[in-house]
Amino acid sequence: MKKKKICFFNKDMKAGGVERQLYCLVNGLNRGKYDIMLLLCRKEGEFSDRISEGIGVHGLGIPYSRCNKIPIMIKLFFFLLKNRPDIFISFHSHLNTVSVIVCRLLAIKVGVCFPGHFPESRLARLRRFFYTRADVLISVSRGVRDSVVKNLHIPESGKNIIIENCVDIEDIEKKACEETGSGFPEMNRFTIVSAGRLSAEKNFDLLIRAARLLPVDCLVLIIGDGEQREYLENLAAEYGVRDRVLFTGFQPNPYRFIKRASVYVLPSDSEGLPTVLLEAMSLGVPCISSDYYGRTDDVIEHNVTGYVFPRGNHYELAKAVDFFRDEQNHEKIKRMIRNAGARVRDFSVENYVRKYERLFDEYLK
């Protein structure tokens, strides 16, 4: 039987949540059934070197930006005209509209992914025009799907589906065993760890505001880099907590720090399905999450698999940390950790890949 040609499209393969999911997917698909291509705006990033042999990795040779959308569209048109996959999957929301336009011109089946909560927009009607012309709309959680239905005014249907993100537990546990290395403090006191891109929607300033309400023996470790780093460092200095809020910068292996954390915190205002929270849960680290825009209960349930606090409230965040510092809550915390470990098993790589394969089999009959 002739293999079906599947092409995935993303900006690049730099370390990030979307890229990690794409890496797990293309490496996990059955290459006996599918001829897999990975197309990137620019062929670069840590994960691009880890793609299995036999998977064609291609680049358009142009970095993604809003200004580059027309050149990307032109290059994409000629790439697809030459290669003509049976189905084309845009894996990043910034590339969805471009992908739908080009695929419709070439009569190629197209699916678009929504990796995060879809906000309200004045352009909703225009975007709806393009998105309704896709063959399948893939949301990473119920919360994301709900935001697509509500804010794009796209009714629920058979083509508006959910495929939840995955967690590569085996790989995470292996990396978590590595030493933190020199240049970092011993994590032998109560340590709060948070990781992600240092940008406004991730709300790391909330964690810094909460830090000044916590005892001086608490250490806050913020893993990641981004446009807000200087602002956050200055904020920590302004609040007098610079000596106990440590910025590690980008870390190719954040799990060695997360594994040693006393508690993991997700302070975001908005998320799709935050895999970093699932990854911390898989390592047996108790988790605190904001009730971010989306659906928090897609991942974490208050007092069952973790602790959920009202987003934007640093007083409640400090209160949540105090809960995990209180020895009287030891048995409750152990129960949360057990429940969280069981919950994470629903997000295995195998389940994730199998759902995509069922999708392809349905649309490529």
Return the domain boundaries, the chain: 4-166+348-363, 169-346
**Contact by Cβ (8 Å): 103, 136:** no
Cβ neighbours around 178 below 10 Å, total: 12
Q: Which amino acid is at 72?
A: I
**Contact by Cβ (8 Å): 142, 222:** no
Q: Which amino acid is at 212?
A: R
The mean pLDDT value of the chain amounts to 92
Residue 44 burial (10 A CB sphere; 0-12, 13-18, 19+): middle
Residue ranges of the chain with per-residue pLDDT less than 70: 1, 182-183, 185-186
H or E element, residue 148 = helix 142-151
pLDDT of residue 111: 96
Strands, DSSP E only, in the chain? 4-10, 34-40, 56-59, 87-90, 109-114, 136-139, 160-162, 191-195, 219-223, 245-249, 263-266, 287-290, 307-309
pLDDT of residue 203: 95
pLDDT of residue 182: 66
4-166+348-363 with 169-346: one CATH topology?
Answer: yes
pLDDT of residue 183: 67
Question: Top-level CATH class of 169-346?
Answer: alpha beta
Q: pTM for the whole thing?
A: 0.85
Q: Which amino acid is at 67?
A: C
How far is Cα of residue 43 from the mean position of the Cα atoms in its chain? 20
Nearest to 36 by CA among 19, 62, 55: 55
CA distance 61 to 45: 13
pLDDT of residue 185: 67
Residues 6+ apart with CB under 8 A from 243: none
CATH fold, domain 4-166+348-363, is: Rossmann fold (3.40.50)
